Structure 1
């Protein structure tokens, strides 16, 4: 599909969410034409909202995907104080938000003018950045280890066929004291993350949550079953060149070229995983391998 496809969008679309304290607000973007459109449900990083990550959402929508971005409870737009009783459970509420979106696709489809009858229910992916990547990974089969080291609840969703996980935290063996004390959910197990996924890591992404180096962010690839690809971006920090948005405070490594590579590879990866289209992925992989000054390296298993 052409990069110049007209995109329609609606926000906020509201999904009722009893017991959440706030109804779930989402932003829906979709191409103006086409049918049986594949879906990407995107989970934002800490503090962001349904209006962030336009460099990815706008691109995906222009390339033929329905992109749904919910606003999680940690969003700065909701201003929920840290002492709020929901805070310790927000990591789970985030996962439930994505499931709620999948349950509410009929409502979302009806809320966007011209989208009715055009959403493909059998072609669904999840994606996310940072904390949002951990949120999305749960629907792909990742689990959180309990205090006894046993895997917690399985929150995977059989409706989800693939994922794109950007700057996803690694194993919980080498956390900083702050992370150990405040983020008990940061103990993932990727042993059961079986769904196909593209994992993107920056080789200059030094997290304040881990005592390890940037290779921490490659754990989700190393420790998950096959049918995964890992894109390691050279020189990239946590924003991976600016996926949350251009010219924002969190983007310390602004690089439109890096973002463009993520746009291209994520789109072709999802087209292959959801639609069975191999050619675009193979072309992109070959181009990266042939580049004399590549922006990163790609490996698959």
Structure 2
């Protein structure tokens, strides 16, 4: 069931990230959010889907001018919301992609977030993506996400996270054509194991940064965010991208605009450029884009790009 409910997206100044998924180790400190994203975006539509269980799911949908080149399903970080990813989503829409992003129940923008504490949000996120995949019919799609949403994106690419109580396999009705995961969580026993990430079965770009450290992580803990890349079988067009000086939020440029700055715009630009080539190559089917991406493979920073 689909219903257009409004256009645009009102963004409050409430804290986005306090306490989300605490049982899974993904909680971060909340702060008041900035009132607007750093760059304007075309007004999206907001549609409402229903899960088979009857729960309403709000979906932000950006449509490009003209016929879309393809579909991207995007999952936001813990406690965040689709509105806080314009620097990433905007270039995709400008390049002709239709992007749909649920407002997950763990978002501080969600009216019922208090009812979905801890791992209850994990089950709901899977239900959200099942509804969204069903909504787009048989259209091929690329899965993308940041942080908690990066785990969701890898799941849509064949990774096998821990099945929440009350759900049965398969986790999703069909797989994405490719995956773009910005800073997915490291293996966390209640969410995903290294072996579960290793089941990733489609081309993927997995990104992290040398300052991508969350509370309680070791100094080199940023490497854990590459687990979907390192655990997956070699030879499947998997890419690992490490950006020098980039933290989990690119200095507050995405996800939570109140993070300590300054915004890490140079690193974000590199991430967006590499993601654009990957999207063109493996979402759009361009052999030329794949060759260009492969020419960027290097062990050198500031943009170390690895391939397996």
Q: TM-score range by the shorter chain?
A: 0.7 to 0.9
Contact residue 163 and residue 169 of structure 2 kept, 8 A: no
Name the SS for the 1:194 alignment partner: coil
Residues of 1 paired with 2:163 and 2:134: CA distance?
28
- CA shift, 1:73, in A, is 0.4
Aligned to 2:130: 99
- Where in structure 2 are the equivalents of 1:58-69 lying within 5 Å? 58-69=90-101
Name the SS for the 1:53 alignment partner: helix
Contact residue 250 and residue 265 of structure 2 kept, 8 A: no
Question: Could you tell me the TM-score, scaled by structure 1's length?
Answer: 0.76
Is 2:46 the counterpart of 1:12? yes
Name the SS for the 1:51 alignment partner: helix
Aligned to 1:51: 83
Contact residue 239 and residue 252 of structure 1 kept, 8 A: no
Contact residue 161 and residue 193 of structure 2 kept, 8 A: yes
Contact residue 253 and residue 264 of structure 2 kept, 8 A: no
Question: Could you tell me the TM-score, scaled by structure 2's length?
Answer: 0.75
Name the SS for the 1:299 alignment partner: strand
Name the SS for the 1:13 alignment partner: strand
Is 2:71 the counterpart of 1:33? no
Is the alpha carbon distance of 1:253 and 1:237 closer, same or farther for their aligned partners in structure 2, counting shifts above 3 Å?
farther
Pairwise CA RMSD of aligned residues?
Answer: 2.9
- Where in structure 2 are the equivalents of 1:1-301 lying within 5 Å? 9-17=43-51, 19=53, 21=55, 23-35=56-68, 37-80=69-112, 82=114, 84=115, 88-105=119-136, 121-145=138-162, 153-172=169-188, 184-187=190-193, 189-208=196-215, 210-211=217-218, 213-226=221-234, 227=236, 228-242=238-252, 244=254, 248-250=257-259, 252=261, 254-286=263-295, 289=298, 294-301=301-308
Q: Deviations over 1:65-112 (max 9, x none)?
A: 111111000111124354x26753211211221221121127xxxxxx
Residues of 1 paired with 2:113 and 2:45: CA distance?
24
Is the alpha carbon distance of 1:242 and 1:157 closer, same or farther for their aligned partners in structure 2, counting shifts above 3 Å?
farther
- CA shift, 1:129, in A, is 0.4
Q: Deviations over 1:183-208 (max 9, x none)?
A: x3254521211111100011111222
Is the alpha carbon distance of 1:86 and 1:46 closer, same or farther for their aligned partners in structure 2, counting shifts above 3 Å?
closer
Which segments of 5 or more consecutive residues in structure 2 lack a partner in the other structure? 1-40
Which segments of 5 or more consecutive residues in structure 1 lack a partner in the other structure? 1-6, 107-120, 174-183
Moved over 4 A (4+): 209-212, 287-290
- Aligned residue-pair number: 261
